[in-house]
Amino acid sequence: MRLFRGPRWAVYVTFLVAATAGCNTHQCDSQMVCIDSLGLMKTVNQAEACTPSAGGTPILGDAGPYNLHVSTNLSASGYELVWETTPLVGPWLDFPGMRTYIIQFPSGLSGHLPTSVDVYVSSDNPDADALDASHANYTTASGSLAEFTNTTETQLSVLNATCARYSMRMVVRAQVNALDAGADAP
């Protein structure tokens, strides 16, 4: 009794197509991008080239206004420093597949180990001129969309381990005592 009645070559073609789908083009080559503590960005070959003052070009264009301001909030568990890479509305950082951002924290957050990091991704990204434009959709990144490494008191690295292109916004929080909260404390 023969269960499969179609041509045998169809099985081989189906297997060949399934085995070759995925990240096979240069659109998914890995890329490392440093953002220093002053909001300057550059592409590097090795993570060691990313320092607090690595230099580069100002983040403009697709990434929109990069934020260096760290706010201080009073929370139920004490004072909390909050830093966002970009505002909720307007352009976010371009986050193509296999890109790693090595982000040095701005001066108001540097020196404090993050207690939480939230990454949001969107399949669209408004133009840099549209600072008040909303994203058509966004969601909290998880799994391969935001893989974290090297989280310290001065920096963190986040990788889009997929081959899909997104835009990305990050919110970093750190708990501090009243003395470390500084002049911005409520």
- For the entire predicted model, the pTM comes to 0.77
- Where do we find the tokens 């969601």? 139
Residue 157's DSSP bridge partners are 102, 149
One-letter amino acid identity for 78? G
The pLDDT mean for the chain works out to 80
- How large is the average pLDDT for residues 7-34? 56
- Helix/strand/coil percentages in the chain, nearest 5: 15, 35, 50
The pLDDT score that the predictor gives to residue 78 is 80
Q: Which two structure tokens, joined as six digits, stand for 175?
A: 């708990």
- Start-to-end Cα distance in the chain: 79
> Model confidence at 48, in pLDDT bands (50, 70, 90)?
confident
Cα separation, 114 vs 82, whole angstroms: 9
Q: Are 46 and 147 in contact (CB under 8 A)?
A: no
> What residues does each domain of the chain span?
27-181
The pLDDT score that the predictor gives to residue 3 is 55
| Lowest mean pLDDT segment, chosen from 8-22, 49-63, 66-80, 153-167 | 8-22
> What count of Cα atoms within 13 Å lies in the side-chain half-sphere of residue 100?
17
* Cα dihedral 30, 60, 102, 74 in deg (nearest 10): -140
Quickly list DSSP for 34-79.
Answer: EE-TTSEEEEESSGGG--TT---EE--GGG------EEEEEETTEE
> What count of Cα atoms within 13 Å lies in the side-chain half-sphere of residue 179?
0
Residue 120's DSSP bridge partners are 140, 169
